[in-house]
Structure 1
């Protein structure tokens, strides 16, 4: 079976990219922008909050190894889907929690994942399901940011590393590092 694509926005793309880079069945993760009104937006434009884009990741995955629903379960575990237009101190619509399905089947699975995740959150999940839209890869310096900058960047130390540690503890059986071990 061919690779499928999942497009998810869960706050800063550095955080969610680092998590999904570790997941078995994921071939690649690309940071980028989706859901806005400006063609070929820059990071500076998106951070200004006026383009309508979300910082997001595009995941290429093998559905015979990991299902789309499993990716969504991880997504809801590693960010706070109950925060409207923010993740912690990152505030604005560009940091919204959103799913951009690529098919009616993905949309149905996204709706089911929200229902599954709701009991884990004290407030309502505000994750939106938005139509697929043009995808704009983020600038090269954003790609694999945590892998390159990691513990040398204060934001990564304070925000990305704890999310990654939480994921690795909770999903040890889904880590590429543990595959076949």
Structure 2
């Protein structure tokens, strides 16, 4: 298994998407890229810690490549929005890739360039950051869509369109 760390707005939303991607073994919501050790959800949401809400994706590279993981990431959120996704506004909702080595860093640059070339007139503001410490989010945030999220009006408004986009744009990458 290999690991990808991605920030694309609310981690409940990106986690829900990647839990449906073939080759993905596990997804954990958490925080990365800030200045405070062991941040809490409340502190990160305040925007004062510098962290992004992010996901750690464990995937099988024999089934899905890092480049494909990045393409799914770029294609299921709006990487052209600076420090926001929809109504979620602040640096904690920024679009960012946190490569774990030089090869991932090169792939991240290539994924951003691919997105830019496929979207004339738009430009991804996705940053490439790190290395940085990873902090798992509190337990109640893990697998949120499969539990509480199904009753949360915010999630019901935001996650199904992302899942539909995944199924439409990446049919061959969706779990059966």
Which TM class, normalised by the smaller chain length?
A: over 0.9
Larger mean Cα displacement after TM superposition, 167-176 or 129-138: 167-176
Runs of 4+ in structure 1 deviating by more than 4 angstroms, as ranges, are none
Q: Does 1:140 align with 2:139?
A: yes
Residue 3 of structure 2 aligns to a residue whose secondary structure is strand
CA deviation after TM superposition for structure 1 residue 175, in Å: 1.5
Number of the residue aligned with 1:102: 100
Q: CA deviation at 1:165?
A: 1.5
Residue 47 of structure 1 corresponds to 45
Aligned to 2:172: 173
Contact 2:166 2:174 (C-alpha < 8 Å) held by counterparts: no
In structure 2, stretches of 5+ residues that fail to align are none
Q: Which runs of 5+ in 1 are unaligned?
A: none
Select 2:64's aligned residue among 63, 66, 71: 66
The answer to whether 1:116 aligns with 2:114 is: yes
Q: Deviations over 1:29-50 (max 9, x none)?
A: 0000000000100000000001
Instruction: Give the structure 1 partner of residue 128 of structure 2.
Output: 129
Let me know the Cα RMSD of the aligned residues. 1.0
SS of 1:17's equivalent in the other structure is helix
